Each structure stands twice: as structure tokens, then as C-alpha cells.
């Protein structure tokens, strides 16, 4: 049984996702000892880099998605099932900081698919879980997914494709705004559809996805390529004043929601 990781990276006018993917791939190689396949487009390919992905798959992505900061090419994640050359695959966002070998546990505990259903914010211990809407489900997270090549996993990715292609319809049913396509929302619906409108515990990674929120900044504690210690600095508003607070984390994976911060982080590692 072959194991590996797959990353999707399409540069936008604002962010170099390919560079982020390269940084994450190196850390996957180092901490998880897994090969990495990248799915990208011609315009994102960085010919200057010396890093060799296990496979490079070039596609023409669907560029029809926007966020408040501009074009966000994140559609087509459902293709991971067909494009992964591995029997067992980790599908990660490129801004997921692999900082331990923890994700390898997914391969031991799942049947054929798993993702996170809960999150925890580094400097907000009491932050509520995100929901699709007040009338709908808690959000599942497409940030880190593990899957095997099985018929059931294929059904989940087929459902993901269907939800993506009918996103406005599902947004209407579940009362969320469809202007921006989100893989998290599509996965939330697709996994339930494929499971007969249930959410089996076996499909859930049994620990929280650790988020670094948007008003929080991460700094590497040193410039080592595979540094494992980071300082998280947070502006805590109390009684109209900002109090700067920090913690240090080590040997723990985290997801950086602030893309500018992640882009800055990878310059030093």
C-alpha cells in the first residue's frame, strides 16, 4: 500500500500558493516521511526552485471564485481522489503547518476517510465551533483529510463534486451565502450525503484542528528549515486597550488562517 500527500496550489494575484505548497511539502517529507504530489497550473509553476515534487499534475483550474481580498482558486478539490497516485492519501491545505508526525495516526485509525469536525483556536480557548448557518450543521474541515482508494471514498468525492457544482442550491437549503465557494462547507454536506445523512464517528479525526486565527501572528523561533518552535502573538482587547499576549508552541501542527502571516513565515524556513 503506497502512502503520500497531495496539495492543490494555484497562485492568485495576491498570494504565491505554489511557494506555500513547496514549504509544506518539504515539511511533509521531513516529519511524515511521505512523498508529495502537487496539483497546479502552468502559471503557478516556479521554475526557479530546486525542490522536486513526487509528481506534478498540471490542470486548468476553475478560477471562478472570490474572497474579500481577491481571486481565490480553491475549486476542484474533489479531483484529489482521481489524481492521487497513492493508495492512501493525505489531502492538506498548503497553509497547514506540519510540525510533528501526528497526521500519520490518521492512517492507523480510519476506515477509508477522515477529516476534522471540531477546531480549537490558539488564543481563543472558548471560541465557538463554526456552523454553516443557524439552521444547519457544524462545519467539517477540508484542511486535513485522509482517504483510501475505496468505492466509499470515491462516493464522498463524487458528492463533493456534486455539491461544488450545485453550491448555490445547497446554500439556499442550508441558509449560507454562496458567493464564495468553500471546500469546508462542501465537505460538510458531501460527507453526510455519502453516509445517508448521518455523520459516522469513524470519519472524524479524533482531535481538534488547531487554528491560528486571523488577529493572531505566528513567528518562527529560529530560522531552521525544520524549526518546530513557534511564538504566537495576540492582540487581546480588554476595556478598550490592547494587551499583547503570547504563547510558544512546539511539535504541534497548526493551520494558519492569515495567509499574509503564512507567506511571511515561509520566508524564514
Partner 1 sequence: MDINTILADAKARFSHNSAKHYLKEKYNSKLTFADQGGLWKADKETISALNAFDSEKVVIMDTFENPVEVDRKELLRKLTSIYSETMSAWVAELKELEGKR
User: Which residues of this protein are in contact with partner 1, per CB under 8 A?
Assistant: 102, 105, 108-109, 120, 122-123, 125, 201-202, 206-208, 210, 219-221, 231-234, 236, 243-252
Minimum CB distance to partner 1, residue 145 (Å): 17
Minimum CB distance to partner 1, residue 202 (Å): 5
In terms of CB distance, is 69 or 246 closer to partner 1? 246
Minimum CB distance to partner 1, residue 156 (Å): 18
Minimum CB distance to partner 1, residue 102 (Å): 6
Minimum CB distance to partner 1, residue 133 (Å): 27
In terms of CB distance, is 82 or 251 closer to partner 1? 251
In terms of CB distance, is 168 or 247 closer to partner 1? 247
In terms of CB distance, is 48 or 201 closer to partner 1? 201
Q: What is the 3-state secondary structure (H, E, C) of the chain?
A: CCEEEEEECCCCCCCCHHHHHHHHHHHHHHHHCCCEEEEECHHHCCCCCCCCCCEEEECCCCCCCEECCEECCCCCHHHHHHHCCCCEEEEECCCEECCCCCCHHHHHHCCCEEEECCEEECCECCCCCCECCCCCCECCEEEEEEEECCHHHHHHHHHHHHHHHCHHHHHHHHCCCCCCCCHHHHHHHHHHHHCCCCCCHHHECCCCEEEECCCEEEEECCCCCCCCEEEEEEEEEECCEEEEEEEEEECCCEEECCHHHHHHHHCCC
In terms of CB distance, is 45 or 252 closer to partner 1? 252
Amino acid at each position: 500500500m503506497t502512502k503520500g500527500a497531495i496539495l492543490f496550489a494555484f497562485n492568485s494575484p495576491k498570494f504565491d500558493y505554489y511557494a506555500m505548497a513547496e514549504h509544506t511539502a518539504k515539511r511533509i517529507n521531513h516529519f511524515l516521511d511521505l512523498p508529495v504530489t502537487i496539483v497546479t497550473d502552468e502559471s503557478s509553476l516556479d521554475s526557479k526552485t530546486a525542490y522536486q515534487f513526487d509528481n506534478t499534475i498540471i490542470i486548468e483550474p476553475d478560477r471562478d471564485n472570490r474572497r474579500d481580498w481577491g481571486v481565490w482558486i480553491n475549486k476542484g478539490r474533489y479531483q484529489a481522489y482521481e489524481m492521487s497516485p497513492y493508495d492512501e492519501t493525505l489531502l492538506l491545505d498548503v497553509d497547514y503547518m506540519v510540525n510533528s508526525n501526528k497526521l500519520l495516526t490518521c492512517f492507523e485509525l480510519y476506515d477509508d476517510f477522515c477529516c476534522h469536525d471540531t477546531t480549537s483556536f490558539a488564543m481563543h480557548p472558548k471560541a465557538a465551533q463554526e456552523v454553516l448557518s443557524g439552521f444547519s450543521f457544524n462545519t467539517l474541515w477540508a484542511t486535513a483529510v485522509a482517504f483510501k482508494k475505496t468505492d466509499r471514498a470515491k462516493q464522498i468525492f463524487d458528492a463533493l463534486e456534486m455539491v461544488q457544482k450545485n453550491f448555490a442550491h445547497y446554500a439556499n437549503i442550508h441558509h449560507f451565502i454562496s458567493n464564495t465557494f468553500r471546500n469546508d462547507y462542501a465537505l460538510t454536506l458531501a460527507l453526510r450525503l455519502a453516509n445517508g445523512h448521518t455523520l459516522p464517528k469513524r470519519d472524524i479525526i479524533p482531535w481538534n484542528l488547531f487554528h491560528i486565527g486571523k488577529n493572531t501572528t505566528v513567528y518562527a523561533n529560529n530560522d531552521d528549515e525544520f524549526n518546530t518552535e513557534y511564538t504566537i502573538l495576540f492582540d487581546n482587547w480588554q476595556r478598550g486597550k490592547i494587551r499583547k499576549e503570547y504563547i510558544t508552541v512546539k511539535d504541534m501542527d497548526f493551520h494558519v488562517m492569515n495567509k499574509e502571516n503564512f507567506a511571511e513565515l515561509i520566508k524564514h524556513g
